[in-house]
Structure 1
Amino acid sequence: MKIEEIHEKGTAVLNEVSKVIVGKENVLKLMLTTILANGHILLEDLPGLAKTLMAKSFASAMGVRFTRVQFTPDLLPSDILGVSVFNQKSLEFEFRRGPVFTNFLLADEINRAPPKTQSALLEAMQERQVTVEGNTYALPTPFIVIATQNPIEQEGTYPLPEAQLDRFLVRLRVGYPTKGEEVEILRRRMARKKEEADVKRMLSEEEVVEMQQTIEDVYVSDAILEYITDIVTATREDKREVEIGASPRGSLALLKLSRAYAALEGRDYIIPDDVKAVAVPALSHRLILKRELWYTKVSPERIMEKLLEKVPVPKFE
């Protein structure tokens, strides 16, 4: 597949999803960028802001299998991965696959489940496989986890451990719609005369995988590689506000996302603006702030924005 096709097909998917989701163009584009980069997405915001609808709409538009799991305090790892059941006819145990065996897994309100259940997804997210009772099972391709998370201050939530946060390629915040956007949401609901919105299929599973593979051909210059490294290094050197900066996994996240973002723009090479566009959602959740900042209004996103302003941008002739 050519880069021009990724631009065309990606634009078609975004246009189709935008028929359902009003506004939030930047969030939708970053979600598609992450999917093409073969990464997992964490949507963090208040309930009722269409996070679940976004995930479902992308799955429908991209023609992939979609499964939703509602995370609750009593959810067990076997409820996600699957369980072995004894077959009385064959006198053997048979593995019944859980909802994780899908293309797009929506982990709804992931931080309402206890850490033991959250950790059940670690192997699946990193290695695209699950191990149950000593047997390893490969997951379908593509496999993307789209998790939603309520703000940690809300009752009945468990903070995601740093190891699991690091598995998400990006963390995105949706935010409230503007007055005009909310009026448009009501108009569209009246026009379709039903709750469910229809999303046309624009791609197939095979095309999604082919697009992900084509991203690997996007050219990255040495200057861009150094720029990515400088940004990540800056998070480690900020001793005033940051306790622990981004790991090399953060550098790899920037590389993958920048390539996918460039391809969606119709380019087969990365420019600094591509890196800037994805740096905040790619790195902010990988920062551990100083303890004294935990109860202030200083956010990791704002710190990343300030760091980006300080890092010199490479110049191209």
Structure 2
Amino acid sequence: MAELLPIYFSIIAFFCALGAMALAIFHIYRHLLNYTEPTYQRYIVRIIFMVPVYALMSFLSLIFPESSIYFNSIREVYEAWVIYNFLSLCLAWVGGPGAVVLSLSGRAMKPSWCLMTCCFPPVPLDGRFIRRCKQGCLQFVILKPFLVAVTLILYAKGKYKDGNFSPNQSYLYLTIIYTISYTMALYALALFYVACKDLLQPFNPVPKFIIIKSVVFLTYWQGVLVFLAAKSGFIKDAEEAAQFQDFIICVEMLIAAVGHLYAFPYKEYAGANIAGSCDLTRSLAHALKLNDLYHDTVHQVCQTNFCFLPWVLSKPCLFICQ
């Protein structure tokens, strides 16, 4: 496929992606050398990895547009992983689900227009509420790789094309499913934050929520709007829209890398590193170990009455199973 965007777009994207990856890798390196709070920092390292994954996959997609669907698939799977890890980090900060339930015992979330709970009774902040928040994120983590696999199969059969909203193509239907699942995950994060904002206050959560939601939420809707612009004629075609989206993400990741330095500073943990540098390899192995995801999937989904998805579809404005 011929290159659609001018060459200087690729040059700018290259330097932005390179700068973003360099900053993020340095940031991760410093966290691993000062790995004094493994319970927190394993999630922080995984979140920061979002920048090099997004930047590299977007740049490769930009210069190899014929293979962009494969690079974008990796980026999108990691997107779900980031949402899960951020909720896990917030839970770790407040001492885990049990500690949250004890701290919030007897309290309830009042009806709110902002949270779309204005027509419902107060929501008890109990163990069931916390479980539903975790399930709200986990369903996206589990569903997203499945949707990616379906997308690749349909693409191979000629039934999927990015930005093609035709009823005869699967892009429209997969986007609807993805949007519902994605919105549920972000809504779960928002509900958890509102319920636990007093407990999270010592950890300065606001910039962290802003950087995570801006990267994950805005890049998704940015892509949808870019493809809608192509359909409306503001951009030449879907191929050019896809490349423009990849270019924007490369630039945005440089900003995100700087934002992560501020939102997740390694210096908070360096002060406790009295013995000097930690074992880099061991720290990295701990951060990348997926035993926590397995544990949550088994205990929050497989061994519980998983009524989250059908319940939300029937009552989309509230997270509670009667």
TM-score past 0.5 threshold: no
Higher strand share: 1
Q: TM-score of the superposition, structure 2-length normalised? A: 0.23
Higher helix share: 2
Q: TM-score of the superposition, structure 1-length normalised? A: 0.23
Higher relative contact order (CA 8 A, sep 6+): 2
